[in-house]
Amino acid sequence: MSVLEMKVPSPGESITEVEIATWLVKDGDYVEKDQPIAEVDSDKATLELPAEQSGVITLKAEEGDVVQVGQVVCLIDVDAAKPAGSAAPAAETPKQEAPKADEPAKQEAPKPTAQPAAATQTYATGAPSPAAKKILDEKGMDAAQVSGSGRDGRITKSDAELAAVPALGGNPVTATGSRSTTTTKLSVLRRKIAQRLVSVKNETAMLTTFNEVDMSEIFRLRKQYKEEFAQRHGVGLGFMSFFTKAVTRALQMYPDVNASIDGDFKVNYDFCDISIAVSGPKGLMVPVLRNAENMSFASVEANIKDLATKVRDGKITVDEMTGGTFTITNGGTFGSMMSTPIINPPQSAILGMHNIIQRPVAVDGQVVIRPMMYVAMSYDHRIIDGKESVGFLVAVKEAIDNPVAILMNGDERKGLGL
């Protein structure tokens, strides 16, 4: 019998371990070569593990196991015959829908566990048990305020835990709805994100500056050239290309925003690699547009569409998310009016876009209704001064308010590649 040992491949540089997120096949299944057999989580992405040969598979790791790169996770008996009368189709990767913003994923309530039998002990009628008394004392409640469910009306620990502290002058209230909880282990990716976010708060001097932009001209351009742009370039004209172009211009005007700290040194980049935050089934990912300063509007839109599709299909690679000198995140797609985006380390700044609201504004002494958006820039004050941060955001505002003059050299058709 010839047996192939399948080992965990390296997902990318500096990654030494992964977590088995999901097995897509069962122990003893017949698998085809290149068929996805598992999803593995690294600290940067979720990747599919394809079968290296056809045969019967024996699993050597459980879902949730953290395994080292190079460790054997399954065996494939390559001499095993394909089951008779079976086409042995490749297992489908279960599709996962990204939850809506602020909507928790649905999880099954845990099965009730058996409670240990309480030691036999006699209590006075209506009196709390010692554990219940401790809880009531902590809540500052009197036992007379609680109805006991135990033998002879005694107050149990559960009664005390469910008892709500009454409002002043009110009556005690007991919770009656479901109070079950579910505990699940965070994925490697989520744990790594948590570590990075905490490190940003602890290791940077993060500040945020705000401004607002008038989207009127962008609305006009999109409405006027939407169909022609799509026919010419095969992609829609969205907001992100305008903001990406505005950001790359501002980064070249304020180079310290396009820099990072490496120990006692500042590293400036002469290129603009823009990380674009994209929401996917596994959480927020930040694929990178390389040398975005050289891209046209159509190129930006095409590249963002391609990367976003890969994120949502779980096909994004580690290399496509590595690097980046500045990040753009758009909370407005979920309805956010204003926020303080958190820096994506080792970068030194991030731009947050928000929802667009028709608001009255003063223009040339007249009150008019305009589509307005608040924008926020969070930055590391260790490397970027207030003057640079405010100047950068003003430069972005100028470009968005007047894209034809500033981003298209006065020629909107040529600027859009039409």
pLDDT digits (tens, 9 = 90+) for 5-49: 999 887 766 677 888 888 999 999 999 999 999 888 776 677 788
65 is catalytic: no
Q: Are 281 and 308 in contact (CB under 8 A)?
A: no
Amino acid at site 371 = P
- CA atoms lying within 13 Å on the CB side of residue 196: 14
Least confident of 37-46, 67-76, 395-404: 37-46
Tokens of 341: 């985006």
Give yes or no for residue 120 having a pLDDT over 80.
no
The band of 85, judged by pLDDT with boundaries at 50, 70 and 90, is low
Give yes or no for residue 220 having a pLDDT over 90.
yes
Give yes or no for residue 229 having a pLDDT over 60.
yes
For range 369-377, the mean pLDDT? 96
pLDDT tens digits, one per residue of 121-162:
444 566 776 667 778 887 778 888 787 776 667 787 777 777
Average pLDDT, the chain: 83
Give yes or no for residue 169 having a pLDDT over 60.
no
Residue from 65, 306, 313, 381 carrying the catalytic annotation: 381
Least confident of 209-218, 232-241, 275-284, 400-409: 275-284
Number of Cβ atoms within 10 Å of the Cβ of 130: 9
Per this entry, what is the length of the chain? 418
Number of Cβ atoms within 10 Å of the Cβ of 43: 22
HEC profile of the chain: CCEEEEECCCCCCCCCEEEEEEECCCCCCEECCCCEEEEEECCCCEEEEECCCCEEEEECCCCCCEEECCCEEEEEECCCCCCCCCCCCCCCCCCCCCCCCCCCCCCCCCCCCCCCCCCCCCCCCCCECHHHHHHHHHHCCCHHHCCCCCHHHCECHHHHHHEECCCCCCCCEECCCCCCCCCCCCCHHHHHHHHHHHHHHHHCCEEEEEEEEECHHHHHHHHHHHHHHHHHHCCCCCHHHHHHHHHHHHHHHCHHHHEEEECCEEEECCCCCEEECEEECCEEECCEECCHHHCCHHHHHHHHHHHHHHHHCCCCCCHHHCCCCEEEEEHHHHCCCCCCCCCCCCCCEEEEECCEEEEEEEECCEEEEEEEEEEEEEEECCCCCHHHHHHHHHHHHHHHHCHHHHHCCCCHHHHCCC
The label of the residue with tokens 């005390």 reads 160
Give yes or no for residue 403 having a pLDDT over 90.
yes
For range 309-321, the mean pLDDT? 84
Pick the more confident residue, 365 or 193: 365
Give yes or no for residue 402 having a pLDDT over 90.
yes
- Predicted pLDDT at 128: 76
- Predicted pLDDT at 334: 84
- Predicted pLDDT at 86: 57
For range 304-317, the mean pLDDT? 87
Which contacts of 268-274 are long-range, i.e. CB under 8 A and separated by 24 or more positions? Answer: 269/325, 271/325, 272/247, 272/248, 272/325, 272/326, 273/323, 273/324, 273/325, 273/326, 274/244, 274/247, 274/248, 274/324, 274/325, 274/326, 274/327, 274/328
Pick the more confident residue, 167 or 128: 128
Amino acid at site 65 = D
Number of Cβ atoms within 10 Å of the Cβ of 57: 26
Q: What is the DSSP pairing of strand 17-23 with strand 66-68?
A: antiparallel
Output the pTM of the full model: 0.64
Looking at the chain, the whole-number percentage of residues with pLDDT higher than 90 is: 45
Residue 76, strand partner residues: 4, 57
The band of 291, judged by pLDDT with boundaries at 50, 70 and 90, is very high
407: nearest Cα among 262, 268, 249: 249
Least confident of 114-123, 304-313, 323-332: 114-123
Rounded Cα–Cα distance for residues 95 and 22 (Å): 12
Residue from 27, 306, 385, 411 carrying the catalytic annotation: 385
Give yes or no for residue 92 having a pLDDT over 50.
no
- Predicted pLDDT at 274: 95
pLDDT tens digits, one per residue of 383-398:
999 999 999 999 999 9
Q: What is the DSSP pairing of strand 326-330 with strand 274-276?
A: parallel
Tokens of 7: 């080992």
